[in-house]
Structure 1
Amino acid sequence: MTDPNQKSFPVTWDQFHRDSRALAWRLAGMGTFDAVVAIARGGLVPAAIVARELNIRTVETVAVKSYDHQNQSGIQVLKPISQQVLDLAKTGKKILIVDDLVDTGSTARVVREMLPGAHFATVYAKPKGRDLVDTFITEVSQDTWIFFPWDLDVAYVAPISGGTD
């Protein structure tokens, strides 16, 4: 988050858990999924929650690095999807991809190329990437930086108005 005018959206563990369960509820109406692929690292937690709620036992990861906590950079696949899950997809099995957020869509594009027929779900979505996912729970503006619970610590926060207590 380098722009001082950029909005911040801190998400607590409780809120993230509720939002991930809401994603599972939405996905439950779409039938049974044969496997879930979590986009590491941000998608690990919501994928675990969704897999539990939907009783999906085949859980896979794909590790893609697209940005750190402040700067976006080029896409790098650090760990591809296993051949076992790719083979499931080739035989028509229903695969679910889960991530915490779709931002610009660059990560989503790369993973969609790996599993073009999969259902892509995220907890949060920004306008530039929204059309690349099939299901999401909450949309935030493009100029909002989401602070996930694993990025936070309990600390004092100044009032929005800029005043003091």
Structure 2
Amino acid sequence: MTLPSQKAFPVSWDQFHRDARALAWRLHEAGPFEALVCVTRGGLVPAAIIARELEIRLIESVCIASYHDYAKQGELQLIKDIAPSLRANGGKGVLVVDDLVDTGKTLALVHTLLPDAHYAAIYAKPQGRPLVHTFITEVSQDTWIYFPWDMGLTFQPPIRNGAPG
């Protein structure tokens, strides 16, 4: 993601759920899908909603770390790969879901693992947009999206990083 800027886009739980269901409606036309791969961690929540709506039971994850301090994107680190059975045919029939495609670096790595999968995200920024087939909302590259799991009344740092209890 880009650095936080003067453009903020806070997303409530209600809005996120509506957007995830809207994405499921669009994906229903593109399917059917045999399996869903979520890009963790951001893809976990929309993947749960979409898997329910499309009745996909085979759910896998790919774990890639790129943000190490919530502000700057660093080197990509593949922490957990995708099951070989889903990679066997290039990902044909597989749906890959993430919350946001920003610069596209993360999804570019996943494309090397599943070149024939269908890629979807709730939100897309211009740099990453070419890497997804289906998305709901495009936001400008200099907009910082505040997801509901990151927010309280103000930004809430993760407990592990010394957040007060």
Q: Cα distance, 1:2 vs. partner?
A: 4.8
Unpaired runs of 5+ in structure 2? 155-165
1:123-162 matches, within 5 Å, as 123-155=122-154
Q: Cα distance, 1:73 vs. partner?
A: 0.6
Partner of 1:40: 40
* Larger-Rg structure: 1
Whole-Å separation in 1 of the counterparts to 2:92 and 2:81: 19
Deviations 1:48-89 (A, max 9, x none): 1111100001000000011142111111101000112223x3
* Secondary structure of 1:127's aligned partner: coil
1:8-157 matches, within 5 Å, as 8-68=8-68, 69-87=70-88, 89-90=89-90, 93-155=92-154
Whole-Å separation in 2 of the counterparts to 1:76 and 1:119: 22
Instruction: Give aligned-pair identity as a percent.
Output: 58
Deviations 1:7-59 (A, max 9, x none): 11111111101100000000001231000000000000001111110000100
Q: Which amino acid aligns with 1:56?
A: I
State whether residues 64 and 76 of structure 2, in contact with CA within 8 Å, keep that contact through their aligned partners in structure 1: yes
Whole-Å separation in 2 of the counterparts to 1:42 and 1:2: 17
- For the aligned residue pairs, the C-alpha RMSD in angstroms reads 1.7
* Secondary structure of 1:98's aligned partner: strand
Partner of 2:160: none
Whole-Å separation in 2 of the counterparts to 1:103 and 1:31: 24
- Number of aligned residues: 153
Q: Which runs of 4+ in 1 moved over 6 A?
A: none
Q: Which TM-score applies when normalising by structure 1?
A: 0.87
State whether residues 92 and 117 of structure 2, in contact with CA within 8 Å, keep that contact through their aligned partners in structure 1: no
Q: Which TM-score applies when normalising by structure 2?
A: 0.87
